């Protein structure tokens, strides 16, 4: 009965979700916003301003230094790329100083390196940073994006009456579809609403920002984790191949997270089947953070083909257990400590705590701190977690 019900839900979910063949696993890439915000003064901050040189530099590094090979294939320009005025034909114009070659040439460059180009716009009259938005120009803008060979649109929701989202975002998605160009559609629609209609959102968007913008701090990462856990019963129903909840960018490698905290974000975002959108200066990132971003085993959890979003399944002693079911019958299980008292904390978890059945498991430590261990049928699983840190394992049943 339970199995039939699941099959029914799966059918329902595939019938009612966006069918553009894209984002069958959570999108991976790099986005300007969290690290570079709206830095537009290229004289003062030549390495950081939102510009074609930043995008090209990042594209080169992604192609050369293993990021593309690991799966990070979208490079996305967030807000602050536009001129403040449209041209005489009402077309958007990229900032003439900072993007002198224009977006089409930039897309060609990015494609030439084997990556895809994403770009930001806003459903309102203006973007959140005050540049021209699409409202009133939707058709011409979608046509322009397609002509520029853009592969991914992040559509924000500033400066528009929230009652317009429920019809506006689908209408914009329909225009994208009509271009015939495969374009990933990232929506900010639910982040601006109190009671979002997720069945509609999952039908029209490949990914959607549910909640507040992330900041470069542990407090922000923790707050987002908490919100996703509190709302997980509702949210997990809408995640699956082609359509994903988006807890926002990875802030790994910037100023605010310790290495342990960076590992927590990477682990929990993987359990959440979240888009992995780095926002960091890849030219200066420290090697230990790069290693976290490029961890193949953790990325494999994130990109698991079953596409089932995991959940927080236990809390206690200021620690949390997160569990995600994987396509091969394994479970990815993260033991997170929110403790700040000092000395690694020893956590003992029962099979019930971890929400897995009593079997013998091969246990692999995904951050490679420990060798493979075996978990006995009777036994409890014991692990030792650093303050504001994580131990992240894959549990694979080896006996029935």
Ligand X SMILES: *[C@@H]1O[C@H](CO)[C@@H](O)[C@H](O)[C@H]1NC(C)=O
Which stretches of the chain bind ligand X, using CB under 6 A?
A: 19-21, 177, 180-182, 197, 199-200, 203
How far is CA 372 from its chain centroid? 29
Q: CB 343 → ligand X: shortest distance, Å? A: 49
Asked if residues 323 and 315 have their Cβ atoms less than 8 Å apart, the reply is no
156 is catalytic: yes
Helices (H), 254-369: 259-271, 287-293, 296-302, 351-354
Of 37 and 181, nearer to ligand X (C-beta) is: 181
Judged on CB neighbours under 10 Å (0-12, 13-18, 19+), 215 is middle
Pairing mode, strands 116-122 and 74-77: parallel
Q: Mark residue 388 as left, alpha or beta (left: phi above 0; alpha: psi -120 to 50; beta: remaining).
A: left
Query: Where does residue 327 rank: exposed (0-12), middle (13-18), buried (19+ CB within 10 A)?
Result: exposed
Q: Rounded to the nearest whole angstrom, what is the least distance from the CB of residue 58 to ligand X in the complex?
A: 27
Residue 196: CB minimum distance to ligand X, A:
9
Catalytic residue among 122, 156, 248, 304: 156
Structure tokens at 262: 């960076």
Does the active-site annotation cover 328?
no
Of 187, 171, 81, 97, give the one whose Cα is nearest residue 135. 171
Nearer to ligand X, 34 or 210 (CB): 210
Smaller CB separation from ligand X, 146 or 294: 146
Pick the catalytic residue from 213, 215, 260, 281.
213
Nearer to ligand X, 125 or 200 (CB): 200
Query: How many Cβ atoms are within 10 Å of 176's Cβ, its own excluded?
Result: 23
d(CA 132, CA 126): 5
Q: Provide φ and ψ at 8, rounded to 5°.
A: -65, -45
Q: Rounded to the nearest whole angstrom, what is the least distance from the CB of residue 238 to ligand X in the complex?
A: 12
* Residue placing its CB nearer to ligand X in the complex, 177 or 396: 177
Which residues is 185 bridged to in the sheet?
Answer: 153
Question: What are the structure tokens assigned to 187, written together?
Answer: 């929506």
3-state secondary structure of 274: coil
Query: Least distance (Å) from ligand X to the CB of residue 145?
Result: 12
Please say which residue, 183 or 225, places its beta carbon nearer to ligand X: 183
Least distance in Å: CB of 19 to ligand X?
Answer: 4
Residues with a known catalytic role: 156, 213
């Amino acid at each position: 009965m339970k199995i039939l019900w699941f099959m029914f839900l799966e059918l329902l979910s595939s019938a009612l979700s966006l069918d553009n063949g894209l984002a069958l696993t959570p999108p991976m890439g790099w986005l300007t916003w969290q690290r570079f915000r709206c830095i537009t003064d290229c004289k003062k901050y030549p390495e950081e301003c939102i510009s074609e040189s930043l995008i090209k530099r990042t594209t080169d590094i992604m192609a050369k230094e293993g990021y593309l090979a690991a799966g990070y294939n979208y490079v996305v320009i967030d807000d602050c790329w536009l001129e403040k005025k449209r041209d005489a034909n009402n077309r958007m114009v990229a900032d003439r100083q900072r993007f002198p070659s224009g977006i089409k040439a930039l897309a060609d460059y990015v494609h030439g390196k084997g990556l895809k180009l994403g770009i930001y716009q806003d459903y309102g009259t203006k973007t959140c940073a005050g540049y021209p938005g699409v409202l009133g120009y939707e058709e011409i803008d979608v046509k322009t994006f397609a002509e520029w060979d853009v592969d991914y649109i992040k559509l924000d929701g500033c400066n528009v009456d929230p009652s317009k989202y429920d019809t506006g975002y689908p209408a914009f998605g329909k225009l994208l579809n009509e271009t015939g160009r495969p374009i990933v559609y990232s929506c900010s629609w639910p982040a601006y609403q109190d009671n979002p209609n997720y069945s509609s959102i999952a039908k029209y968007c490949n990914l959607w920002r549910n909640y507040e913008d992330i900041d470069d701090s542990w407090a922000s990462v923790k707050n987002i984790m908490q919100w996703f856990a509190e709302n997980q019963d509702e949210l997990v129903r809408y995640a699956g191949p082609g359509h994903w909840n988006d807890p926002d960018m990875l802030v790994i490698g910037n100023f605010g997270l310790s290495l342990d905290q960076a590992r927590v974000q990477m682990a929990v975002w993987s359990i959440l089947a979240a888009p992995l959108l780095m926002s960091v200066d890849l030219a200066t990132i420290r090697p230990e953070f790069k290693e976290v971003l490029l961890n193949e085993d953790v990325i494999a959890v994130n990109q698991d083909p079953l596409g089932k979003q995991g959940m927080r399944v236990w809390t206690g002693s200021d620690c949390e257990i997160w569990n995600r079911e994987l396509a091969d019958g394994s479970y990815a299980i993260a033991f997170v400590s929110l403790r700040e008292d000092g000395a690694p904390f020893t956590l003992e978890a029962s099979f019930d705590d971890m929400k897995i059945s009593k079997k013998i498991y091969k246990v692999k430590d995904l951050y490679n701190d420990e060798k493979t261990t075996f978990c006995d049928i009777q036994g409890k699983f014991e692990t030792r977690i650093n303050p504001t840190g994580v131990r992240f394992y894959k549990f694979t049943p080896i006996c029935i």
